[in-house]
Structure 1
Amino acid sequence: MLSYKHVPRSSLVGVTSLEALCGVVDRGPLGRVRHPSEFSNALSRRPQQQKYHPDGSKEIVHPDGTVRRRSGGREETVFPDGTVVTVERNGDRTIVFSNGQREIQTAGFMRREYPDGTVRTVYCTGSQETRSASGTVRIRPPRN
């Protein structure tokens, strides 16, 4: 169901007539457009598109093609080259690169997984561990 809230004409600058027909809800300087499919677009002066979904999630599409999604305390950013960065609520970060490598960053360690099966881990103490696909393990003590 479409809803329409009266908005002063001065705040409709840059709003198309189609957006005005969909129902502009006054939130901030330019407002927010509520669509029949229950998500809404934020209207801002920045050249990015913001979508707010009914489940509370938010999606921002930047002009360079980067897409940032936030939902449930988790943030996911997809870059144009295919790299995906996921940040969990506790601060753990997972980066999946377009070349197949995967990096996991936590408070205790940073681990990089390579497509050939090699896993390199650097711990917060400074020690490093490298596990190759053949099963070889190499441990380096922390540098002083």
Structure 2
Amino acid sequence: MVYLQAALSESLRLYPSVPVELKQVLKDDVLPDGTRLKKGAQVFNFLFSMVRMESIWGKDCLEFKPERRIKDGKFLSANQFKYPVFNAGPRRCLGKNFSYTQMKIVAISVLLRYSVKVVEGHSVVPKLTTTLYMKICLMVTLRPRLVNNA
């Protein structure tokens, strides 16, 4: 399950379900880089861009690499502020663990029964809105797996 957890996390890194967040400043504040924020200002957090930044994720930031989440056979959780897919700090999503459990159940249920392959030449293009979804449906072929009843 370590690799599945890493693959799901890497999928969410590249395609966060909420790609853009809007926050409002409640009182004057200063960001770690020195940027001053006035009370009432609106701050847009573009997660879709942030998770593709070389300065945060390295030269291979555009690659799907579940291995970046595994060390010595164990899953490594990314810093919640580097990987804010489920938000961070006191506003972190309470359903994070439950959502991972659901994703694993669905993935296991499908992968035990079928071999899944994206149709060759199919363009995978996300549509950026409040929640991320595909501009065009994901075209895949499903082939039943042989079940060994022995």
Q: TM-score, normalised by structure 2?
A: 0.27
Structure with higher Rg: it is 1
Greater percentage in helix: 2
RCO higher in 1 or 2 (8 Å CA, sep ≥ 6)? 2
Greater percentage in strand: 1
Q: TM-score, normalised by structure 1?
A: 0.27
